[in-house]
Amino acid sequence: MSLLTDWRETAYNEQMDQQKMQMFWMAYFAEEKAVYEQLLAEPDVEVCGTVKELAEKYDMTVSHFTGFLDGINDSLITPNPIEEMGEDTVVSLAFDKEKLYYNMCEAKADWLYQLPQWDNILTAERRKEIFLTQRKSNTVVAEKKIGRNDPCPCGSGKKYKFCCGKNK
């Protein structure tokens, strides 16, 4: 079984009762926050090593670190082979700063995108811009509906109800 499969089976275990699941995620989010605090403190330093080495470095289990890698993978400059990685797979945590901030906003992870380390990485204006761009990306704008008495969009000059809007 791959590390990613193992992580997903544990993290999304439907057999676990709600209280245990809540405790699991609270513990994981605390670990995740601690890793991001360290990464964002030195955003231009590329961290790399084997999955096992980095899990030990950040004081996480290999399973939890695999979950971290799953979460950050879309924000990395070069994504890691998370589907088939093992404990000895060498991974890189070199991330795109703006993409990472955007993805944190998309995940609604306010405990991450509000970390004080972001103050030294992106300006407040740029963070707000990225935040608003992400929020707008989920907004669905419905097209204006053609009214029965509006001019027909085909250009005939007739009312829509007497042209293309006829029930045939």
| Single-letter amino acid code for the residue at 56 | E
Tens of pLDDT, residues 80-133: 999 999 999 999 999 999 999 999 999 999 999 999 999 999 999 999 999 999
Res 165: pLDDT: 81
- DSSP secondary structure letters along 75-109: GBSS---TTT--TT-EEE--B-HHHHHHHHHHTT-
pTM > 0.85: no
Please determine, for residue 167, whether its predicted confidence score (pLDDT) is greater than 70: no
CB atoms within 10 A of CB 68: 20
pLDDT, averaged across the chain: 92
Q: What is the pLDDT of residue 1?
A: 63
Q: Provide the pLDDT for residue 155.
A: 87
